[in-house]
Every structure is written in structure tokens, then in C-alpha cells.
Amino acid sequence: MVSLKLQKRLAASVLKCGERKIWLDPNEINEISLANSRRNIARLHRDGLIIKKPVVVHSRARVNLRNEAKRKGRHTGIGKRRGTANARLPFKVLWMRRIRVLRRLLRKMRDAKKIDKHIYHSLYLLAKGNQFKNKRVLLETIHSMKTVKAQEKALAEQAVARKGRAKARLDRKAARAEKKDEDVDPSN
């Protein structure tokens, strides 16, 4: 048996792969053994006596199947976890998601004139202070603040109206008293 070590090394260099990927035709060993230059090796490759083996398949089918199951929540129990809860999904990321949702809602409502800038500012600071755990709680707070504000406005209007009526009553009373004085003492 002739040693084809040189031919294998040259073929690997010519075909730009490792020696384990080189296939030498076992039926043409004599002809291959005569090739002692890169040019000869390249010619044998063109003739099909030396072939570069295909890449070995490294299938991801099983990985894809498992990832699909993981998306459904399988294989994620306590026994499968290596990192802390904070390492797996950082608290900061959760906070950023939540605060962005709340601030977006506040901005939208302010721009739509559903809340004024004073309510916006107070709620913005409360959101920053971790007062609202989600959008629903924030919306409930907004509605309650709006109703309180509306009630205060109504009460203020009522007070103004009441004051106006009281003043009118006093004016009438004074006018009546003045008229009475004139009726009682016409000589003056």
C-alpha cells in the first residue's frame, strides 16, 4: 500500500479544508500517488479522483422541538433553573417596561386633554414612586381624581352662587329697609 500522506496534505491545502475532509479514490491509488504538486492535485480534483467531503449534518431539529415546548412553558420548572430570578429576567427590565407603559398612558391622556398638567405631574411623580403596579390601577386613580376635582369644582360654583344669592338678599333687605324708612318718615 502506497502512502498518500503528502497527497492528502496538498489536497487539504488546495481545497481549503482539513485532511479529514479529503476523499481519495481507492481505485486510482497509483495515479494519485504520482501527483506530487498542487497543480497535479487540482487536476485530479477536477477529474473527480480527489473530492472534498460534504459537511457533516448537525441537525437543530431536536433543539427547535425543545424550544417550541419551552415556549409553551415546559422544561422551565424549579429544577431546570440555574440563575436567580433577577438573572433570568432582571427586575430593572420589568420596572422599565412598567414605567414606560404608565408614562405613555399619562402623556397620551394629557395630550388628549383628558387630564390637566397638574394631575399629570402629580401622577407622574406617584408613578415614579412605585404607586401603580399596572395600567388598570393608574386608570382607576385618574378616574377617582377627576371625579374629586369635578366635585370640588361643583362645590366651588355652588358656594359662589350661594354667596351671590345671599348678597342679592342682603341688598334687597337693605333696599326694603331704606324704603320703609322713607315711608315711615316722609317729612324728612
Q: What percent of the chain has pLDDT over 90?
A: 91
**CB-side exposure of 135: number of CA atoms within 13 Å?**
12
Average confidence score pLDDT of the chain: 95
Residue 187: its pLDDT value, please? 58
Tens-place pLDDT, residues 119-177? 999 999 999 999 999 999 999 999 999 999 999 999 999 999 999 999 999 999 999 98
**d(C-alpha 173, C-alpha 164), whole Å:** 14
**d(C-alpha 8, C-alpha 6), whole Å:** 5
Residue 154: its pLDDT value, please? 95
Residue 182: its pLDDT value, please? 82
